[in-house]
């Protein structure tokens, strides 16, 4: 009891010091940038979701059409987004191999924590898969570069692009294995390998890595096509998310959504950002970790969950709620670690 009381007093003091320091000019400027970035990234997402929900409400998009369009997103737009992320990354920005190892190991640790947290609390396979996926997969592709581009990183987004190019394929591999297991109820090596080999996101990742390592320059026309498909991926995915949103069904899964959201926005950033600080990462290296571990659930979890039989009410609810709450939690984490001198 004494330990908990001391910890509470320490955290309370730290938070109060952080809030009082927000009046200082340098911190005010930096946090204002983060608030602006969060607002500019999150509000348009909600507006597109609202448009999709409106289309469903007035009958412009039916559930069958959502499922059909989702196949197009999953097999075309999302692979293009993933390929382009790898293709455009500058591997020379990753000067420290230890940093790469930390990022990869940390992502796998969040996955393991999510599995261990969810399994005792939920018995249904489809719901387990959606909860775990929503908890460990961050929206790094949308929020990573904008947050790192803000002061004090001075617009150095090269490292963020490299981190995205290595974490997104890892997210996908873990998701395919996990969702296939919960769908079939068996951990069969042949089945897993077939699922991985046929998954368009894995194919796009492998193609991007091969092209990048080989130094192949895409023809201008093909690069333009990939770029346009990449640009359409998130808006179309958000539109379909809104068109599939069911308030009553989402409310019925509020406990499971809350579990995933707390893991995503509170537990993972607390554990992994603290680990990064203890190891000694500072400046742009530390700032790059913030969206990786503190951003909301990735939009494309919904598309992948639909294709692989996970619970869509949990997926859509976790995306919407974690995105809304991240406006506050991102501000808190950025302010806290800025106060502690991490950047």
Residue 5 has pLDDT above 80, yes or no: no
For the stretch 69-122, pLDDT in tens is 989 998 999 899 888 888 887 776 666 789 999 999 999 999 999 999 999 999
Query: For residue 79, what are the CA distances in angstroms to 100, 260, 273, 299?
Result: 23, 25, 29, 14
Residues 172, 195: Cα–Cα separation, whole Å: 11
Task: Give the pLDDT confidence score for residue 96 in this predicted structure.
Answer: 79
Higher pLDDT, 9 or 79: 79
- Burial class from Cβ neighbours inside 10 Å (0-12, 13-18, 19+) for residue 12 reads exposed
The pLDDT value recorded for residue 168 is 87
Among 122, 208, 132, smallest CA distance to 165 is for: 208
Q: Distance (Å, rounded) from C-alpha 119 to C-alpha 57?
A: 35
- Residue recorded with tokens 């990234």: 41
Taking only the tens place, the pLDDT of each residue in 316-331 is 999 999 988 988 898 8
Contacts of 202 (CB under 8 A, 6+ apart): 169, 172, 173, 176, 196
pLDDT on residue 199: 85
pLDDT of residue 31: 58
Residue extents of the structural domains in the chain: 44-339
Computed over every residue of the chain, the mean pLDDT equals 84
What is the model's pLDDT at position 15? 43
Position 305 scores a pLDDT of 94
Sign (positive or negative) of CA dihedral 302, 75, 294, 53: negative
Mean pLDDT of 189-205: 83
What number of other Cβ atoms are within 10 A of residue 75's Cβ? 16
Residue 206 has pLDDT above 60, yes or no: yes
Does the structural domain 44-339 have CATH classification 1.10.10.10?
no
User: pTM above 0.95?
Assistant: no
Q: Which of 147-156, 304-313, 331-340 has the lowest mean pLDDT?
A: 147-156
d(CA 16, CA 338): 14
Residue 142 has pLDDT above 50, yes or no: yes
Contact 233, 299 (CB under 8 A): no
The predicted structure's pLDDT at residue 14: 43
What is the DSSP-derived secondary structure letter of residue 341?
Answer: T
Average pLDDT of 212-229? 92
Task: Give yes or no for a contact between 112 and 267, defined as CB atoms under 8 angstroms apart.
Answer: no
Contacts for 279 with CB less than 8 Å, ≥ 6 apart: 102
């Amino acid at each position: 009891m004494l330990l908990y009381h001391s910890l509470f007093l320490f955290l309370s003091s730290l938070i109060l010091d952080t809030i009082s320091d927000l009046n200082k000019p340098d911190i005010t400027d930096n946090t204002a940038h983060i608030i602006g970035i969060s607002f500019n990234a999150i509000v348009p997402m909600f507006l597109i979701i609202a448009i999709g929900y409106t289309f469903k409400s007035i009958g412009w998009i039916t559930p069958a059409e959502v499922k059909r369009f989702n196949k197009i997103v999953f097999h075309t737009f999302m692979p293009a987004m993933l390929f382009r992320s790898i293709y455009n990354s500058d591997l020379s920005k990753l000067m420290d191999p230890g940093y790469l190892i930390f990022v990869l190991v940390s992502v796998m640790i969040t996955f393991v924590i999510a599995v261990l947290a969810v399994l005792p609390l939920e018995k249904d396979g489809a719901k387990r898969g959606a909860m775990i996926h929503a908890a460990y997969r961050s929206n790094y592709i949308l929020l990573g570069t904008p947050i790192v581009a803000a002061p004090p990183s001075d617009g150095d987004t090269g490292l963020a692009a490299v981190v995205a190019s290595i974490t997104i394929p890892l997210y996908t591999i873990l998701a395919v294995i996990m969702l296939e297991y919960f769908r079939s109820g068996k951990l069969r090596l042949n089945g897993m390998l077939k699922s991985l080999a046929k998954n368009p996101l894995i194919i796009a990742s492998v193609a991007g890595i091969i092209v990048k390592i080989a130094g192949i320059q895409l023809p201008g026309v093909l690069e333009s096509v990939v770029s346009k498909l990449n640009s359409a991926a998130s808006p179309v995915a958000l539109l379909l998310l809104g068109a599939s949103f069911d308030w009553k069904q989402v409310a019925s899964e509020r406990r499971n959504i809350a579990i995933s959201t707390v893991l995503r926005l509170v537990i993972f950033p607390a554990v992994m950002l603290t680990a990064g600080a203890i190891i000694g990462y500072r400046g742009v290296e530390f700032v790059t970790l913030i969206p990786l571990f503190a951003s909301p659930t990735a939009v494309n979890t919904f598309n992948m969950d639909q294709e692989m039989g996970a619970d869509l009410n949990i997926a859509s609810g976790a995306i919407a709620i974690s995105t809304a709450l991240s406006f506050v939690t991102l501000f808190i984490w950025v302010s806290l670690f800025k106060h502690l001198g991490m950047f």
